[in-house]
Structure 1
Amino acid sequence: MAAFCVGVTGGVASGKSEVTRRFEALGVTVADADLAARAAVAPGSDGLAEVAAAFGPQVLDADGGMDRAAMRRLVFNDDDARKRLEAIVHPRVRAMLQAQCAQAPGAYAIAAIPLLAEGGREAYPWLQRVLVVDVPVAVQQARVMRRDRIDAELAARMIAAQATREARLAIADDIVVNDGSLDALQAQVEALDRRYRAMAAAAD
């Protein structure tokens, strides 16, 4: 059981997934907020029943699952609808992440939470540390354009829709700077792994 939990976050195209993959390769359990969000509204779940009750049958597909495209259209330009959806999904996601981390074998566990800065660190009082994967905005924009094959304007809008780089760094206990080589990234991850194992042992 891992009593020591580290939240990992970062902006779009910062390399969060690459960082968490490298922690997993070192034997660390990673609980993923994106997977938990899907599970929270999976077919047959209480979460999906609550979504259907709040928004009506038009947000369900022919198989009774959530029609994600319809849901996106509904909440995209409607802040109230988005907040209602978040009020259903987010508490379930936080509970799932906390349970997965608590049940994880090993010295510590990681919760991968892309929107940690947006939701506020106080929503995750069970995290002992927050690790921010950081890149300069220009690097982020170039990566998004290359990854998604989009133009600079759309990439800039995607970045602007998230918390600022400064807001993410303000909640960081630790920072991985991911604008160099994969070898440099690996060295940073291994150093943090040693630090977290030592912190977890000291907290026992």
Structure 2
Amino acid sequence: MIRRQPEAAPPTPPDSSTQQTGIIRRHPTGSFPAASADPQTSFIPRGARPAASSSGPARTPSPAVPSAAAAVSIVSGWATAVIATSLITGWWDTDELFCVAIGFLAAVSAAATIGGLISLLLRRRIGRLLIVVGAIVALMIFAGLFVAGADLPRIVYATPVLPAASIVLALLPAAGRWCR
């Protein structure tokens, strides 16, 4: 076994006035650079600035259309649930498979509508799509109402207007601007 002699002198113990810590300190080696008046914060050249719009400062989009879409979707979801419940209770003795299908469609419609409402009010773009999906499924339930030939009050036959209004309000450009 070959042993080497140490090339450097052993470290000297620290003097009592300074305490050695495990923190590495870096001292500046020169003067601080002068700060410019317009610090560059991006890679865009200084001369290339976006053109200001002629309409003035950007306005925040109005929440009127998304709020209307949310309100109509809530009423539409309630009406769909009432119709689905009425169909299921009225047809359970004669056609159980039809009732299970209507119950499944009602659950899908409710989940899509509720998720869409929350997402829309949180300004997520997926909320508009979910409201449209929930309204289309609600229209399928109303189609089942007409196929079954259920005897319901006349006002019930006008309720498909609510999901159609939900679709229109959710797809308006103002709702899209709200979500961006």
TM-score range, shorter chain: under 0.3
Structure in which a larger fraction of residues adopt strand = 1
TM-score normalised by structure 1 residue count: 0.24
Rg (Cα) greater in structure: 2
TM-score normalised by structure 2 residue count: 0.27
More relative contact order in 1 or in 2 (CA 8 Å, sep 6+)? 1
